[in-house]
Structure 1
């Protein structure tokens, strides 16, 4: 008996072929290498450094000058303030007419850092004590002479009057057989005259028309004479 053979149909489905995904292409930008920097010559570098150093030094010099000026200005202001504080009532109109301050008041003469008043009023003149009180009322005192230069300045501003025995009182007197200035220090100038003029005494009188180094006369303190006041200038000289 023959075996019965069965046939089955197998169907194959064919679709379109799958497309392969294209791989992404990556493009990189390739930049050319920059040329290597060429170092500057040593001479050029040194010149630039010297220029920079010179500029720095000039800046420092300018700064130091400004600092020094500020320091001087502050010192001058402190000096002026110290002078003003010596007055119980500062005479603004005398020192600062038209709002511009002067070193000295009218009729006072400036020499270096001081102002001097040469009392030239007519007779009656004053004793040594009266002369000193007059100066003190002007917030000053009889002049203290510190050296030959100041002595010569004073001598050049004294005038002959009345007779050869009269002169100008100044701030020197005898105490315990020692000549002492009114500021307390002993005299070591000794510009005494070689002549004998009038009555001798313990107060120093400056005689006009005489050698600057031989012009002081030891006179009686009650002798009536002109005199010289001195005080600090309001503004220091530059």
Structure 2
């Protein structure tokens, strides 16, 4: 390099060095300061906005979580209610099925009862016809004449009643004797007055004693028609003994004797005489 060129280069380098060492003017420094302060504020504003957004986002997330939790709980409650309703429905359906079966069973029972009633009505009608025919045969056709009689053949008429004493060698207890009378549409004889007493007495052959419709009930002598024995002199023992019944006898001081109802004796039946129009 030439000597002149070296001098120019040194002068330029020195100027650059001085420029580098010398601070910028005050105006330029103020602009830089203003620029740095504004940027810092903008950064703060941005950071603040970001923080607010984060808080809002966090609140939204928390709210969403709470909402989801409530929704899940409500869904569980609804599911439980649905399960309970379904169970109640199943129980109701089961009860309805049972009720339907019971109703069907009641209908069947009603049908069976109606059938039984119909059968009983038919049987009753047949028995009524048969009974009427039997009455005609026994009260009318059993005699040689053409007239119907108040009492059947083999029965003794007295006032408004018919009496029959059984075979004196066929003995039964009081209850068995009464069943036999009832089987003949009658009952054991009852003496409501002295005339009926005489009719019973006349049918009490010899001294065997015949069951009549008188026994002790609740400490009192009662006839089978429900009336009380009024004439206490008719019985040999005024004191009524439970389980005792009365026998009608001939040839003693009294015509009624108190004995145990389980003993076996003959008996006298009585029924109402047939009313005949002239």
Q: Normalised by the size of structure 1, how large is the TM-score?
A: 0.54
Q: Is residue 2:145 matched to residue 1:105?
A: no
Instruction: Determine which of 245, 249, 256 is the counterpart of 1:216.
Output: 256
* Distance in structure 2 (CA, Å) of the matches to 1:179 and 1:96: 38
How big is each residue's C-alpha offset from its partner over 1:178-236, in whole Å with a ceiling of 9 and x where there is no partner? 111111111102201269xxx9952111122234xx21111111111111111111126
Counterpart of 1:152?
198
* Distance in structure 2 (CA, Å) of the matches to 1:112 and 1:106: 16
The runs of 4+ residues in structure 1 deviating greater than 2 Å are 85-88, 120-123, 235-238
* Distance in structure 2 (CA, Å) of the matches to 1:157 and 1:87: 32
Task: Answer whether contact 2:216 2:242 (CA < 8 A) is retained.
Answer: no
Counterpart of 1:130?
176
In the TM superposition, what is the alpha-carbon distance from 1:237 to its structure 2 partner? Answer: 9.5
Query: Number of residues paired by the alignment?
Result: 144
Larger relative contact order (CA 8 Å, sep ≥ 6): 1
In the TM superposition, what is the alpha-carbon distance from 1:99 to its structure 2 partner? Answer: 5.3
Task: Answer whether contact 2:156 2:164 (CA < 8 A) is retained.
Answer: yes
Instruction: Determine which of 127, 143, 154 is the counterpart of 2:189.
Output: 143
Instruction: Determine which of 210, 213, 219 is the counterpart of 1:168.
Output: 210
* Distance in structure 2 (CA, Å) of the matches to 1:204 and 1:185: 15
Alignment of 1:177-196 (within 5 A): 177-190=219-232, 191-193=234-236
* Unaligned segments of structure 2, at least 5 residues: 1-126
Task: Answer whether contact 1:159 1:209 (CA < 8 A) is retained.
Answer: no
Q: Which has the higher helix share?
A: 2
* Unaligned segments of structure 1, at least 5 residues: 1-84
Task: Answer whether contact 1:142 1:170 (CA < 8 A) is retained.
Answer: yes
* Distance in structure 1 (CA, Å) of the matches to 2:231 and 2:243: 19
In the TM superposition, what is the alpha-carbon distance from 1:157 to its structure 2 partner? Answer: 2.5
Q: Secondary structure at the match of 2:221?
A: strand
Q: 1:87 to 1:133 in 2, by over 3 A?
A: farther
* Distance in structure 2 (CA, Å) of the matches to 1:180 and 1:140: 18
Alignment of 1:39-58 (within 5 A): none
* Distance in structure 2 (CA, Å) of the matches to 1:228 and 1:189: 20
Based on CA coordinates, which of the two structures has the bigger radius of gyration?
2
* Distance in structure 2 (CA, Å) of the matches to 1:117 and 1:86: 24
Aligned-residue RMSD, C-alpha: 2.8
* Distance in structure 1 (CA, Å) of the matches to 2:157 and 2:267: 16
